[in-house]
Amino acid sequence: MSKRSGRSKLPSPNAAFRASGQTGEITPAEIRGMVCNPVYAGVGPFPALVSDEQWVAAAAMAIEKEGAEQFLVNLLHVLRQTFAEDGD
């Protein structure tokens, strides 16, 4: 596990937010965005679409594949977009 100083640059998000009602093919980045977005487990005003166990298992696999830092960057990215959409 690498340690980051406060000056190290974080990776860029590689996940994308997909708004409800959006049409067209789902991209790999949008799938990563769905996996790391806890609103699917019922966070905030959103109903749970998956159980806590399912969300945690998927998140753990994503962390194992891409690393915790990338997962957390993606999580922040999609949460910001999720709640910005909710507020519109």
CA 23 to centroid of chain Cα atoms: 19
Domain boundaries, the chain: 28-87
Residue 60: its H or E element: helix 52-66
Q: What is the pLDDT of residue 50?
A: 95
The interaxial angle of helices 68-87 and 28-36, nearest 10 deg, is 90
Residue 5: its H or E element: none
Mean pLDDT by 10 residues, the chain (88 residues): 65 93 94 94 92 97 97 97 73
Q: What is the pLDDT of residue 7?
A: 58
Q: What is the pLDDT of residue 1?
A: 47
Query: Could you give the dihedral angle defined by the CA atoms of residues 14, 20, 23 and 25, in that order, rounded to the nearest 10 degrees?
Result: 40
Rounded distance between C-alpha atoms, residue 58 and residue 36, angstroms: 8
Q: What is the pLDDT of residue 20?
A: 83
Flag whether the pTM goes above 0.75.
yes
